[in-house]
Amino acid sequence: MNRERILVAVTGASGSIYAKYFCKILYRLGLEVHLIFSDTGLEVTKFELGEKGLNEIRSCIKVEFDCKKFFAPPASGSSRYHSMVIIPCTMGTLGAISNGMSQNLIHRAADCFLKEEKKLIAVVRESPFNEVHLENMLKFKRAGGVVYPAMPAFYSHPQSLDDMAYFFAGRIVEFLGFKVNDLKTWDSTNTKAF
């Protein structure tokens, strides 16, 4: 049976907890996860989550690609991926993609997703945005990408950082078209409104 393949990229912005829960949910749903860490993305993940958290991510993936290897499958538009999510996405990564500068495998893979008109999501993580950030986000959107800022919601009444990160990651998974059964949605938490 063919399973949908999702390409996940983790770059050097803060927020690797989102990547952890995103990969866990995909794995639990039986999706095939392929992963690319940028060099700094790997460093930040180790710093924020420790080796245990890094191992949790790696336990959910089928293939991990070296971000320096342009000979890997994601560098071709013919690779059969359902979608690509850069989580978290640095402004440097967004700038490179938005301006067609493929300096590593993450940039090149994203370029392929844009040219093939496949779903590409950038979970940008910066605050406040400067004018260059905003211009690059607009370029990215106009090129066919989805800007999905790391802005967690609170109506699910999270009790911990893990709850908050899980909910945010689950919303992205549902945006890709997959149902996350235990996700607390607005209609399930706001019953007084009906």
Separation CA 31–CA 62 (nearest Å): 10
Tokens (6 digits) for 117: 């008109």
Report the helix count and the strand count for the chain, using DSSP H and E.
7, 6
Q: What is the pLDDT of residue 191?
A: 53
Using CA atoms, how far apart are residues 146 and 27, in angstroms rounded to an integer? 22
Q: In the prediction, which pLDDT does 155 show?
A: 87
- Under DSSP, the state recorded for 128 is S
Can you give the residue range of the structural domain that contains 73?
Answer: 5-193
- Look up the CATH number of the domain holding residue 11: 3.40.50.1950
CA distances from 192 to 132, 148, 186, 189 (A): 42, 29, 11, 9
> Residue 105: how many CB atoms within 10 A of its CB?
22
**What is the reported pLDDT for 194?**
43
Number of domains in the chain: 1
- DSSP annotation of 63 reads E
Question: How many other C-beta atoms lie within 10 A of the C-beta of residue 127?
Answer: 9
Structural contact between residues 73 and 79, judged by C-beta atoms closer than 8 angstroms = yes
- Cis? peptide before 88, omega within 30° of 0: yes
Q: Which pLDDT tens digits describe the chain residue by residue (194 residues)?
A: 358 999 999 999 999 999 999 999 999 999 999 999 999 999 999 999 999 999 999 999 999 999 999 999 999 999 999 999 999 999 999 999 999 999 999 999 999 999 999 999 999 999 999 999 999 999 999 999 999 999 988 988 899 999 999 999 999 999 999 999 989 878 766 555 44
